[in-house]
Structure 1
């Protein structure tokens, strides 16, 4: 461990951390431990026993009462005249701290270190070892060691603050936590000229960092045996790893002190992200969130778990504090770990710097997902949502795909309502910045930035709609509200929105004609590119009215393009080079957002063309079959009509014959004689002619 000059002087003055008492009434050579019992190595028998948990100390009254006000008061105010046992289970520092305090009372040399000083200081305060009983008592000497040795050392301040985790509230009341936090903050922020210290992660055989006065960067010098000196720039995040071993409440104290010192908010945000990545394993990419459907308890598992941090000098700092690896059990241990995780998330949200780009939007969204899973306070979740809205244009699609954990309503795959709230916060923030007086002087530049941000958000929302539209439980109303949340000026091209609508129609084939028309109203056909218009014109899932609008918009664009081309050069308006130039111009006018996502859509276009040709062929076959059937039907109909007329004429002829026969029967008696006479005349004539 590297030390400053004042650090070395303090160690020289205080005997390098060795405490002794000049007065002691019982000569002894030290303590002897037998199992859980400690005995004083002396010929004088002990007359008092101090019990701390399972540990028993067999001591003498006089050395204790001469330096401890609490033990003196207990012994003299006791109603038992021969008190020989005292139970002190509530002493801070446990039996380790009491052992060191008892050794000091007997005049045995005590080695003060950064690991035991906080426990010994709290134990001395508990035992009331003040200057009123003896000059140079334990409280005075431990305070001096803390002030002049520990607080002047970077690593010792970290170790002492880490050891204070088991000493609450004594370490808080004695200002040990506050002083260590301020010492760490001062060393992390200030420019300590001439002071050197070690830190975790430094290169071996290289000394502690020193500040470069020219550019305020830390530099280090090589002290390897070859003595080749070369300067290496220490990264600005050199203190992240050391501070990240602290418990969350102490980490918050350090970050708060660093904010007061004036460190850049980007470094503070980076330190918070480093701490969250280390303690919240759910933020790491190789973790998985598992939810128990019966208990609705979510757990986080990670295969790469490391519970200790090793410094560059080979010393291992055991992290006995929080272990944020949650398992899917329902015992008390898992519930305690879930509470600790929720406390970490809430604390980190509260200390994030208010500046816009202090932390990344991806980190905020991952933290928001864990906050929802851990059921963090609603006010903090709302605050985190507002922070995401401030830099929503930096988000990515993978970060927005947050599962829906609200099982009260219709369960959708992703939390669409959350994304809608984030979008609303973004629009409110944009409106606030636009109307801010400070921005009026930079109105043109600010308007351009706002348009670019809105355009990026529009592309992001369209991609999100395309992804969530595959969910069959997503209602048409939610899709429409999210698509119409952005103003019309945010989208210069509606190709992404068209892809989302087409994907929704694929996943919801049972939509009625009215619902399909309602869905397509969110899209402006005039903002579609030529390729999108070609795809939409052959899309059978779209309503017929929308297809007509798309075709009309396409014709208008082609007419405008041709008219503009003819105005430029009338003589070459119909030549091949001009057609190529016109096509190139149209392609350049297509937005980049559509060109990036249209590669996959072209495959769908080719598939739809093939399907359309197949449908056309089938339609022609069916049309021919329909014509043949119609001809057969007409032929059969004519046959039926002709048969009806013939049957009618047959009936009419029968009726005529019957009438003729009846009339013949009626006139037969009158005509018999006439016919006979006629026959006779004919015969006579024939006969006459023969003759």
Structure 2
């Protein structure tokens, strides 16, 4: 820290309590100066020889027959006047970055100019500022901070402007030419680049960020504007500086963020940070996670719609970089009706973000080979967005106030290309069904219709086959396609469509085999038992490879019972009438005591004797 000593005489100022200051001298004092609540008992001659203002005031007091003068609204208060008075007496005064601004403003108030005496206090302070303070990085920041309490004096004397210009100029210097001290305690950004040696003496490019975080928001805004106006700072560094400032000043606790004493300050701060975001709204500058954090704060503190719209625009460009936790945005207080009303999180705002992203990036195609790399990135981003939406649906599905319309609207906002696997969507649907047990049958059908059971993984299919919350039709579809995976040449019985018809009370897409039932009850029971044992062995064998031989639940077994009973009925009907050609099952063997094994060959079919 720089300092400057003025004067040579020893300091003879003394105090009598907290409100009286006097000079220890053989000569009696002849003037009393009131500065705030402090009285200074001084001598006229040294004061009048340096200050034009005091000359006028003493002359006026003498004409009024008094020896007391008052200095109302004195900049810097008693401490600043103490420095000026000591300088008038020629006593030792030490100027430093903490007191130089009050002393400069006080000297201006007292009109201690060169016209009164050469080498006066204003001149000496200006020499100190230009030769020492503005050449030092940290001292300039200290001076700028101290200037806040002396507005508008410090502004009119251009101390603030000169500090800002000095700081902006230093941030634009090549890091290899930085010779002044700075604070850098943050972790270095790691890169994938491999270097043989690292010169520890060369500062990093973001060496200036941490020190500027100590500035008041108004001065910080002006400094950042000056830095950006020079055009030498990258958008990434600007974004990193804003993120560091937000981390430094924006609290994480809700009560500290929206408390009565902090809400206004935090609102001004977040609006300032948003206003300072890099002008290029592309992928550089700020991460999506940081932008979403700003949006959360802006919503909670009631920031203006303009700044929130700016954030929504920027976030929609980088939405694929977010995580499901980042999207848990609080509901805007102004929302009383609509998509996000009464929900814990603002689902409507997330739907809007996804819509904007798809409007910008929805067309994934290429016209020539040069666009193949860009196309690959676009598809990867779309897949990331699909995972993001499914993860967000899992987070909000447990909200009892989340309407099915909002769930369906968000789930369908992602095209098929962005969701090749439906495990995440199935998980969200399962959570929603669990937390909304009073759903109507039509709503269950609607929400389960979002899921394509053919796109479930094997593990997802196993879970769905045992899920009692799913409609019967969906379980049958899951079992059917899981059977096809196991042995594509082994079809399920021909009565599948009639089972689907019974589960939803809708017309069957295909006619049911009209063959009459001619088997006796004992034979039907025997076939049902054999079919159930065979199918259960098949499915449990499939499950055993991945889930330690988990058995199908009773509901799934009942479905297969129904399927295979229908199979037996049609087979017997075919034996009586050869005119029917709709049966999908092989003919029943007339031999007894034989059941063909399952799963040993791809071309085998089920046969019951």
**Global fold match (TM > 0.5):** yes
Match of 1:486 in 2: 414
Partner residue of 2:5? 18
> Which aligned pairs between 1:210-229 and structure 2 lie closer than 5 A?
none
2:78 corresponds to which residue? 95
Is 1:471 matched up with 2:458? no
User: In the alignment, which of 538, 541, 555 is matched to residue 612 of structure 1?
Assistant: 555
- The equivalent position to 2:180 in structure 1, one of 197, 218, 229, is 197
* Structure 1 residue 82: Cα displacement: 2.4
CA distance in 1, matches of 2:356, 2:48: 66
- Structure 1 gap segments, 5+ residues each: 2-10, 22-26, 204-214, 220-230, 283-287, 290-297, 301-325, 327-333, 564-586, 588-601, 620-691
Q: Is residue 412 of structure 1 aligned with residue 343 of structure 2?
A: yes
1:477: Cα distance to partner? 1.0
Correspondence for 1:444: 372
Contact 1:472 1:507 in 2 (8 A): yes
Please state whether the residue corresponding to 2:355 is helix, strand or coil: helix
Distance 1:200 1:548 in 2: 66
Structure 1 residues 79, 511: CA separation in 2 closer, same or farther (over 3 Å shift)? farther
Instruction: Specify the alignment match of 1:155 in structure 2.
Output: 138
Rg larger for: 1
Q: Distance in 2 between matches of 1:78 and 1:336?
A: 45
Per-residue deviation at 1:263? Answer: 1.9
Of 198, 206, 226 in structure 2, the residue corresponding to residue 257 of structure 1 is 226
Partner of 1:115: 98
Question: SS of the counterpart of 1:454?
Answer: helix
Query: Could you say which residue in structure 2 is the equivalent of 1:501?
Result: 429
Q: 1:280 to 1:433 in 2, by over 3 A?
A: farther
Shift of 1:449: 1.6
TM-score between the two structures when normalised by the length of structure 2: 0.71
Q: CA deviation at 1:84?
A: 3.1
Partners of 1:28 and 1:41 within 8 A in 2: no
Note the alpha carbon deviations across 1:435-469, whole angstroms, 9 max, x for none.
9xxx9996332222222111101101001101211
**Superposed displacement of residue 140, structure 1:** 2.1
Aligned 8 A contact 2:364 2:375 in 1: no
> Equivalent residue for 1:341?
266
361, 365, 368: which is aligned to 1:430? Answer: 361
**SS of residue in 1 equivalent to 2:69:** strand
Q: Spell out the pairing of 1:4-403 with structure 2 (5 A cutoff).
A: 17-20=4-7, 30-35=12-17, 36-76=19-59, 81-191=64-174, 196-201=179-184, 232=201, 234-261=203-230, 262-282=232-252, 288-289=253-254, 298-299=255-256, 335-355=260-280, 356-403=283-330
Which deviations, in whole Å up to 9, do the C-alpha atoms of 1:403-460 show, x marking residues without a partner?
A: 446484553222212322332343344369999xxx9996332222222111101101
SS of the residue corresponding to residue 32 of structure 2 reads strand
Residue 33 of structure 2: SS of its match in structure 1? strand
**SS of structure 1 residue aligned to 2:34:** strand
Q: Secondary structure at the match of 2:174?
A: coil
Q: What is the rounded CA distance, in whole Å, between the counterparts of 1:183 and 1:486 in structure 2?
A: 51
Q: Name the one with the larger helix percent.
A: 1
**1:57 match: secondary structure:** strand
* 8 Å Cα contact 2:140/2:166 also seen in 1: yes
CA gap 1:63/1:232 in 2 versus in 1, 3 angstroms: closer
Q: Does structure 2 retain, via aligned residues, the 8 Å contact 1:119–1:167?
A: yes
Question: In 2, Cα distance between the equivalents of 1:251 and 1:343?
Answer: 12
Partners of 1:256 and 1:172 in 2: CA distance: 17
Evaluate the alpha carbon distance shift between residue 614 and residue 94 of structure 1 in structure 2; reply closer, same or farther with a 3 A threshold.
Answer: farther
* 1:29 positional shift: 5.8
Q: In structure 2, how many angstroms separate the alpha carbons of the residues matched to 1:418 and 1:188?
A: 38
In the TM superposition, what whole-angstrom CA distance separates every residue of 1:474-525 from its partner, at most 9, and x where no partner exists? Answer: 1111111111222333222333222212221121111111112222333344
CA distance in 2, matches of 1:257, 1:62: 46
Cα shift at 1:279: 1.9
Tell me the equivalent position of 1:521.
449
How far apart in 2 are the matches of 1:470 and 1:511? 14
Q: Deviations over 1:530-567 (max 9, x none)?
A: 5544544554433445455556666777787999xxxx
User: How far apart, in 1, do the equivalents of 2:221 and 2:408 lie?
Assistant: 43
Matches of 1:177 and 1:433, distance apart in 2 = 52
Q: How many correspondences in the alignment? A: 492
| C-alpha RMSD over aligned residues | 3.9
Q: Secondary structure at the match of 1:335?
A: coil
Alpha-carbon offset, residue 156 of structure 1: 1.3
Q: Does the 8 Å contact 1:535/1:605 carry over to 2?
A: no
SS of the residue corresponding to residue 326 of structure 2 reads helix
Preserved contact between residue 516 and residue 543 of structure 1 (Cα < 8 Å)? yes
